[in-house]
Chains A and B, each alone.
Chain A
Amino acid sequence: MTSSMLNLPTSIPWLTILGVVPLVGSVVVLLLPRARETMAKQVALAFSLVTLVLTVVLALGFDAASSAPFQFAEKYEWIASLGISYSVGVDGIGLVLIALATILVPIVMLSGWNDVAPGTTGRGTVKGYFALMLALETCMVGVFAATDVFLFYVFFEVMLIPTFFLIGRFGGAQRAYASVKFLIYSLVGGLLMLAALIGLYVVSADVLGQGTFDFMQLVGIDIDPGTEKLLFLGFFIAFAIKAPLWPFHTWLPDAAREATPATAVLLIGVLDKVGTFGMIRYLLPIFPSASQWFAPLVIAMAVIGIIYGALVALGQSDMKRLFAYSSMSHFGFIALGIFVFTSQGMSGSVFYMIAHGLATAALFIVGGYLMSRRGGSSLISDYGGVAKVAPILGGFFMFAALSALALPALAPFVGEFLVLLGTFERYIVIAVIATIGIVLSAAYALRLYQKTMTGPVAPGIDGMKDLGGREFTSLFPVFALTLVLGVIPGIALNVINPAVDRTLTTVGLTDPQPVLTGTEGGQP
């Protein structure tokens, strides 16, 4: 294995800097005079780009072969009496998710450049929109980098605030309803998690003598089975709402429909991954027995979600709700891969998180461009024949649809196939049911494409402008990354795989052996 490509000095608190840069950007943007709207946007974009560059530096400095569980680790005491510290660090899983977040922020900024009408005063100002996105970026970096469970919780909850305002102030007509629904669901989850967190602290005080929230210390502590199950549930429900898994998903279609495309991408593409990330990072290593005990339940929820989400997506007359249900179906795949406890499944899940983030970006951004050209209507029946009128838009729409149905050579395929394979190794019947999802995803994705992009040109579509320079620039990186990750997924798998192996070792499970063992490798 190669070590890192860049040797970064360890004395510099890289992750803190990475988290602080967007926050500083957010403050700077807020301090700008309200009238300088374009400048606010440019400054925000610049800060997000600096963050992206920093992420690239970090990724190059990351050593995939290292045996240390976390790299770029920092630890400062925070509330010593409660064993709470500000400690951050990344493994391969955290790294790729941070990369996803920092890649998507500049992209959605570009795509949402004109989301807020110039000169808007009151609550939904231009600079407010961009400052909130940067603030959210800080939270996203923090939540994936935290190695203290309490710190994670703080980011988990604080994240809600910018998201709440992004939906509630900048969304569609029903935005108030959608944002409050989102908040309530999240709060309920957060509450349960807080309770479980306190419980975990009590347990750690009992077992270790001194209570702690430090992740590394909490891994492998001995918890009474009954308590472990309760604590597991507290965390799990919070994550299942966030992900969201069936049947906790009903906030998602509303939020997706009302939010701006930019917000929707960050919400569904990145924030929802916190749920599945939490399952891998916290549930499995801290509550290994409970995770196994609950695995059948989670798998059932996941596989129901796959089929259910796809079927409901097939029946949607609203494009944005279709996107949301399609995502829900894919979240089912991600959760499934985690709880089948095979390295293929889990690596597939992590990879799928990235791939799905990109696929979501493609769908919502190109969908957003389409809808903005037709008075914001998200009704599928308002469209038809668009590809004829606007071929570049049509081409990107096609690409987004193919991402959603996980065509090979695009990133989602790698994730989906690995998840199915990992599932098949342990649960053949579940894998068979989940595989039916690939027919349904083709059906809803191509149905959407057929109804909107092909056929006779619908009224109101004639004369529709094709994508402009800014729009093209925002979509092209998504397209390129999806393709690159689909063809050379190794760049991500190289860092994901070791982290996944470590997680599975902590849980104490190994992959099932092939039926014909001892002869693999083809050497007789």
Chain B
Amino acid sequence: MEVTTAAGGAFAYLWLLIGFPLAGAAILLFGGKRTNRWGHYVGTLAVVASAAYAVILLLALMGRSPEERTVVQHIADWIFINKFSASIALQLDQLSMVFVLLITIVGSLIHVYSIGYMKDDPDRRRFFGFLNLFVAAMLLLVLADNYLLLYAGWEGVGLASFLLIGFWQHKNSAAAAAKKAFVMNRIGDVGMSLGIMLIFVTFGSVTFSTVFDQAGEASDTTMTWIGLLLLLAACGKSAQFPLQAWLLDAMEGPTPVSALIHAATMVTAGVYLIVRSGPIFDQTIVASTVVVIIGTITMFLGAFIGSAKDEIKKALAGSTMSQIGYMILAAGLGPVGYVFAIFHLLTHGVFKANLFLGAGSVMHGMKNRENMRRYGALRAAMIVTWLSFMAATFAIMGIPPFSGFWSKDDIIHAAFEHNIIIGICAILAAGFTGFYMTRMLVMTFFGKARWEDDQHPHESPPVMTIPLIILGIGSIFTGIGLLFWGNIETWLEPVTGFETRELAIPAIVLEGITLLVVLVGAAVAIAMYRRSVAVEAPKGNVLVRAARNSMYDDAINDTIAVRPTYWLSRSLVWADRSVIDGIVGGSAAFVGGLSGRMRRLQSGFARSYALAMLGGAILVVVVMLLVRLP
């Protein structure tokens, strides 16, 4: 039995985790120009402080027995009326702890890196304010002890991403991408809102512990609906099919934003939501199957897109979609998969931050251009970036002993335990990963230089390369560390449950097959891109063109949602003027004698008013008497 303890001792200041970055955001955003000179240091310090406190909390939590690792801190009542109440209360347990560590530590590195990356941007202070807001919102999301407060963090993340994606707001494309991200996320939020309502109507509470304790008592249909609604929410934040279209456009933001969105915050929120709601999904085979299917579809969708894009950040975005697809898939597997979904999320958080910051470092040295067809042979010019990028590439491909190997292999294993088809899909997608990551690596760092004439590639300053080095080391060791030293399975087990089943084939064989598929993917990429890369993209076949256009997601959304909505909107604008205003306004004008009497009414205002009132009142009373008042 889980024991929940009130926050005391080291946990007494739990709210500070969110408080530091929130205060940072407030100082930077409200402080105005005065904070320009030192604002970025404050912003960075705020997140570093949270990270340091998070480590202290981790040690304190490790000092407790596994059953006593759930700590709740009630801060204030929030929304309440009769049976409904949602508090501002934080819950730290093993699951939120690992998220807090990921968010604050990777977040800190991204902040440090941004000091260099945004050095010449006149709005650097505002940028750090938004970054802090992002971190604070994400921390609220993972620390909330109830669904409604989680929702507040959820929307806060949406807001921060809106502000950051549109950070270069003078560009129309950035502003449009920001709006698109928020609105598409709002579609997911419909699921979130309705899910919370259904949870309250069913359980009479929105607090995690109360809901989960009773999860087994509700009907299957109810649980399926709750599960599907929460999945819709997760699809929005985690850019899963069919709400994935915003993610690639989100590349309009400065590169550290992409690192933050893709690695430490935002897209991981959907995975968190599903794993957190595990007790609900465990009750509904339908919803959890849909979760697996959505994850599998997105896994391939992202892999296709990642394999075809020539812009380095967009290719990475495709890879994020695909990797989050893995996590969602794993989360849909239930207790055999929850732990691995989180495990992969953590290792991915490190190596994906590494990849994005690496891409940012490359772009930094290449005048912010991101077309990989114009890269090549950059390894000599930026050795640190190259080496750390390569470590992360091996990690995401799942080459042993790099960190992704451990986590992805576990997911593939769990997928096979569940269903052989899903298992095969997971292996195939690993092959794609091998292909698109090797392609990226080769196109950028190897082969011949295909630079434009004005390019003088150079390595980034230490403030950027040091985070890369740290992340590069992380890309190598996070997996081993979490698995063997951190015992991630037993650590998470009290919260998420953990099951494992025997497979017909030994694990080592499965690992071998996976590795083989990955290497085949890599070999194909090397064969295709090692020698020469056309500066202009070849036309390609139907599939390549589709993938290059992100599988036509915008066209599809436009056709089924955006254009019909605007058409309806325009029709209603017209109808409102000519029909409703005409009918209702016409009758009102008739009763009040508007036509031709405007002048009289204005001049003889009081008299006309009294007269009209009296006349009308008599009329209506007569009518009412006619229909027989008692």
Contact = CB atoms under 8 A, between A and B. Distances in A.
A315 B179 contact: no
B143 to A, nearest CB: 15
Interface string B574-587: 00100011011100
A315 B629 contact: no
Contacts of B585: 181, 250-251
B162 interface: yes
A438 B193 contact: yes
Contacts of B194: 424, 431-432, 435
Interface string A155-196: 001000000100010000000110011011101101110111
A7 B612 CA distance: 47
A500 B81 contact: yes
Given A180-B594, A519-B214, A521-B210, A493 B80 contact: yes
A520 interface: yes
B175 interface: yes
B629 A202 contact: yes
B170 interface: yes
Contacts of A185: 588
Interface stretch (A14-22, A109-117, A412-420): A412-420
A197 B155 CA distance: 46
A202 B78 CA distance: 46
Given A438-B193, A450-B179, A387 B584 contact: no
Contacts of A251: 585
Contacts of B166: 450, 454
Nearest to A424: B197
Interface string A243-263: 000011111000000000000
Instruction: From B82, B182, B565, B583, name the one whose CB has the most chain A CB atoms within 10 angstroms.
Output: B82
A493 B169 contact: no
B565 A453 contact: no
A417 B79 contact: yes
Contact of A446 (B162, B209, B569): B162
Contacts of B77: 490
Interface stretch (A44-52, A74-82, A130-138, A402-410): A402-410
Interface stretch (A208-216, A372-380, A510-518): A510-518
Contact of B78 (A194, A250, A407, A489): A489
Sorting the interface of chain B by its residue count into under 10, 10 to 19, 20 to 34 or 35 or more gives 35 or more
Interface string A440-452: 1011001101100
A315 B81 contact: no
B601 interface: yes
A251 B222 CA distance: 44
A230 interface: yes
B64 interface: no
Contact of B200 (A388, A421, A497, A521): A421
B183 A443 contact: yes
Contacts of B78: 487-490
Given A195-B624, A311-B569, A490-B78, A438 B189 contact: yes
Contacts of A500: 81
B169 A455 contact: yes
A408 B152 CA distance: 5
Instruction: From A199, A312, A402, A487, name the one whose CB has the most chain B CB atoms within 10 angstroms.
Output: A312
B573 A497 contact: no
A239 to B, nearest CB: 15
A456 B172 contact: yes
B176 interface: yes
Interface string B138-163: 00000000001001101110010010
Interface of A is mostly: helix
B265 interface: no
A187 B592 contact: yes
B187 interface: yes
B183 A446 contact: yes
Interface string B476-513: 00000000000000000000000000000000000000
Contacts of B205: 514, 520-522
A435 B192 CA distance: 10
A216 to B, nearest CB: 22
A516 B217 contact: yes
A191 B620 contact: yes
A30 to B, nearest CB: 18
A520 B209 CA distance: 11
B527 interface: no
B536 interface: no
Contact of A515 (B183, B197, B201): B201
B630 A224 contact: yes
Interface in B92-143: none
Nearest to A431: B197
Nearest to B207: A522
A514 B201 contact: yes
Given A311-B568, A408-B155, A438-B190, A517 B601 contact: no
Interface in A284-298: none
Interface string B422-435: 00000000000000
A308 B88 CA distance: 34
B197 A198 contact: no
B153 to A, nearest CB: 8
A251 B151 CA distance: 37
B197 A501 contact: no
A516 B199 CA distance: 11
A438 B151 contact: no
A4 interface: no
A421 B76 CA distance: 21
B213 interface: yes
A315 B566 CA distance: 7
A350 to B, nearest CB: 10
B605 to A, nearest CB: 8
A377 B152 CA distance: 36
B170 A184 contact: no
A514 B203 contact: yes
Interface in A214-270: 223-224, 226-227, 230, 234, 247-251
A497 B78 CA distance: 14
Contacts of A195: 616-617, 619-621, 624
Contacts of B79: 414, 417-418, 489, 493
Interface in B547-597: 565-566, 568-570, 572-573, 576, 580-581, 583-585, 588-589, 591-592, 594
B169 A344 contact: no
B602 A194 contact: no
Nearest to A409: B152
Instruction: From B159, B176, B201, name the one whose CB has the most chain A CB atoms within 10 angstroms.
Output: B201
Instruction: From B81, B189, B585, B627, name the one whose CB has the most chain A CB atoms within 10 angstroms.
Output: B81
Instruction: From A157, A199, A402, name the one whose CB has the most chain B CB atoms within 10 angstroms.
Output: A199
Interface in B608-630: 609, 612-613, 616-617, 619-621, 624, 627, 629-630
Contact of A184 (B81, B159, B589): B589
B123 to A, nearest CB: 9
Contacts of B80: 490, 493, 497
A28 interface: no
A344 B204 CA distance: 12
B182 A488 contact: no
Nearest to A510: B82
A354 to B, nearest CB: 14
A316 B176 contact: no
28 contacts: A181-B585, A184-B592, A188-B592, A191-B613, A224-B630, A230-B624, A250-B576, A250-B580, A251-B585, A311-B565, A343-B81, A407-B159, A414-B79, A435-B194, A439-B183, A439-B189, A440-B565, A446-B182, A450-B175, A450-B176, A450-B178, A454-B169, A490-B77, A497-B82, A501-B82, A511-B82, A520-B204, A522-B213
Question: Top 3 closest A-B pairs, CB basis?
Answer: A514-B204, A195-B620, A520-B204
Given A181-B585, A455-B172, A515-B218, 19 more contacts: A176-B602, A184-B592, A188-B588, A191-B613, A192-B616, A195-B621, A226-B627, A311-B569, A314-B565, A315-B566, A421-B196, A421-B197, A435-B193, A435-B194, A447-B179, A455-B170, A512-B201, A514-B83, A519-B214
